[in-house]
Amino acid sequence: MYHPFSVTETISNAWGVLKKNVAVIAVYTLVTVVIAIATFVVIYGVITDELFKTIGVTFFLIEISFIFLGFMKLIFTLIDKEYYDFEFKDILPKLKVLGSYLLLLFIVSTLAFFMAKMVYLMNPGILQSILDKFVYWFFQFFFLFYFPVCACFIVDDDSGPFESVIQSFSLIRGNFFKYLILFLLIEGMVFVGTFTIVGMVFVMPFVNIVLVVAYRKLIYSHQDVEDDVSETI
């Protein structure tokens, strides 16, 4: 039957996913954090040539994107194959997925840069100030509010960059204020977690689990199906 999207149920189910799979999630998080730190140290502590450092930074950004998408794929796999064994290859994002994610990131970042540049070149005044704040907050809101849902569609549905944006707007429509409440709670958790390294190590994986579960809950809230925990989260 139809089951409306619930913020409390989403957080509760996300906590359940974390508790049932804490060992797997902890190992993935630990390994990827070590890899990311090692790459960062090599780029900024070992490489001295500026050209190679630039290449290294580009590689690092791709690596972080791969790790993020891999974590989302892991959570989807843990949800979908809760009662089945899965292999390491099952959580590796496809090259198409990585490409779509990076392309969307590049397009939105480039658009934000050029719009900000256009506003900067305007004659100073009230209009420029208003447009400057609008452009800044619009893209900040998109990156934090809609972009994670786009990433879910890219990972879970093999959606293209433009398709994922359309799907994310369509998915959240009708549950905007509920998702906004969830978004504010997530931002609050991230804020609290930033005070300690341990907090961030715990909060960031949990926040991403919440986003994946919220995405699945929103998907099923649009469908006439039984919203059973074992089937929908």
Continuous segment of H or E residues that includes residue 49: none
For residue 63, what are the contacts with CB-CB under 8 A and spacing of at least 6? 35, 36, 39
Q: List pLDDT tens digits, range 106-162.
A: 999 999 999 988 888 888 888 888 888 898 899 889 988 999 999 999 999 999 999
User: Mean pLDDT throughout 183-201?
Assistant: 79
Q: List pLDDT tens digits, range 47-93.
A: 878 888 889 899 999 999 999 999 999 999 998 876 567 777 778 88
Q: Where are the domains of the chain?
A: 7-232
* pTM higher than 0.75: yes
In the structure, what pLDDT confidence band is assigned to residue 174 with cuts at 50, 70 and 90?
confident
104, burial (CB in 10 Å: exposed 0-12, middle 13-18, buried 19+): buried
How many angstroms separate the Cα of 195 from the Cα of each of 162, 182, 199?
36, 21, 7
